[in-house]
Amino acid sequence: MNYETIIGLEVHAELSTATKIYCGCSTEFGGEPNTHCCPVCLGLPGSLPKVNKKVVEYAIRAGLATNCSITQISSMARKNYFYPDCPKDYQITQDEYPLCTEGFIEIENEGGIKKIGIERIHIEEDAGKLLHLSQGSLVDYNRAGVPLIEIVSKPDMRSPEEARLYLEKLRSILQYIGVSDCRMEEGSLRCDANISLRPEGEERFGTKTEIKNMNSFKALEKALEYERSRQLEVLGQKGVIHQETRRWDDQRDITSIMRSKEQAHDYRYFPEPDLVTINVSSEWIEDIRRSLPELPDKKKNRFINDYDLPAYDAGILTSSQKLSDFFEDCVKCGCDPKAASNWIMGEMMRLMKEDEIEIDDIKFKPSDLAQLLMLIDKGTISKTAAKKVFSEMFGSGESPKAIVKEKGLVQNSDANLIHDIVMEVLSKNAQSVTDYKNGKTRVIGFLVGQVMKASKGKANPKVVNQIIKEELEKL
């Protein structure tokens, strides 16, 4: 029997506000344990929460950017559960009346454009962090009360690849609109996945499992691939899939059971008595809509039309706002868009991957890359030398002109000097000259290489090629 894979994602994004969702404590990452806390985020008796208006604004921005309808009167609720990192023994979140509903984003796979529905976006508070040691456990409440939006997709994804593409696109949008830095390695973007299988052609969903502890896009895709295979094996042996929460083990590449899956009634949701309803006016919604920047899909189309870039290049460059800004700043300095795209997507992204750094960590400026490309265009340096210059720029942040001067990489375009080298090479390679006369024109490449070797790589290849052809025609 053939089965169809059904996947939905629950994504938590920490919002980039200066203070927490219900109090004035700092949201700064990496502080000393338990230094960003107060009676409100610790849940001490008598403390009262107050909703941070900026959190509501950021959630609305996320909703508008993902084509959601904004709920103009929404409310908060208590989600009751007992765990050491939850100091109040309940989480203040949203239940029946979330802030944003019925949205979608589009992903692009081999089959074309696919729309993935978003069921809801709601605001809530994060929990603290637990550190388990052999002699006991420690808890840090700095993160307790940090504002989150939870973005719940519809079960519209049909493969692990689609789930990865959806999460990548969602991260890109959230970064573009400035509501979250979405650093998975710091936990500011977290994802839980629900996956089930059903016989092809059936409408009813199968029993789902939830997967946690996936801290990268690669881990998400691998975890879903494993869980799909595991469920297929169980069903193939006439077994039963149990509704449960499973943990992804990145070291062993398997999922393992954590607990049986809770139902909504297990959390005993009820309205939060200490907070009034959130009232959002139409005017405020429109003000936020007008403040939204150009989003990835629109910018991609503009790059294709304005810079004559292939769709693939435009898609890569606009996947990150900072990457797209870097590219446009290069072009504004006067360099060719396609050349800038090639160097950014090639050498720059290769070195970024090798050093495991983000674009914020790059030491040189867009104007430096533009300067390097102009040195190539003017024939000042060869493309081979340019790669050496770029590598040096990447490591030191020094300007291309300074590196070229310091390393003595200026390309020689003196026709008389190059002519002398060409004649010497031709005299030493009589067989190649004979081969050329017999129609083997490919020997020109060999001869150019010999001239470049003789000039220690400093001769201008264009001038070399031209002079070799002229001299061969004379013979």
Strands 77-80 and 270-271: antiparallel
Determine the average pLDDT of the residues in 62-81.
Answer: 96
CATH 1.10.10.410 intervals, the chain: 415-474
- Each residue's pLDDT tens digit, 110-150: 889 999 999 999 999 999 999 888 899 999 999 999 999 99
Q: Please tell me the distance from the alpha carbon of residue 312 to that of residue 297, in angstroms, as a whole number.
A: 12
Average per-residue pLDDT for the chain: 93
Q: Are 444 and 436 in contact (CB under 8 A)?
A: yes
Give the pLDDT confidence of 389-415 residue by residue, as tens digits: 999 999 999 999 999 989 888 888 888
The span from the CA of 141 to the CA of 124, in Å, is 16
pLDDT at residue number 22: 97
d(CA 81, CA 83): 7
Residue 462 pLDDT class (50, 70, 90 cuts) = confident
User: CA 337 to CA 331: how far, in whole Å?
Assistant: 6
- Whether domain 415-474 has CATH 1.10.10.10: the reply is no
pLDDT one-digit tens code per residue, 168-185: 999 999 999 999 999 888
Task: Give me 322's structure tokens.
Answer: 């900072």
pTM over 0.85: yes
Tell me: the pLDDT tens digits for 329-385? 999 999 999 999 999 999 999 999 999 898 989 999 999 999 999 999 988 888 888
Confidence of residue 303 (pLDDT cuts 50, 70, 90): very high
SS3 content of the chain, % helix, strand, coil (to 5): 45, 20, 35
Helix residue spans in 356-460 (DSSP H): 366-377, 383-396, 400-407, 415-428, 430-437, 443-454
pLDDT per residue over 143-154, tens digit each?
999 999 999 999
Band (455; pLDDT cuts 50, 70, 90)? confident
Amino acid of residue 115: K
Query: What confidence score (pLDDT) does residue 82 get?
Result: 87
Q: What is the pLDDT of residues 191-238, one digit of tens each?
A: 999 999 999 989 999 999 999 989 899 999 999 999 999 999 999 999
- pLDDT score at 173: 98
Q: Does the structure show a pLDDT above 80 at 475?
A: no
pLDDT tens column, 248-272: 998 999 999 987 766 656 778 999 9
> Residue 159 has what DSSP assignment?
S
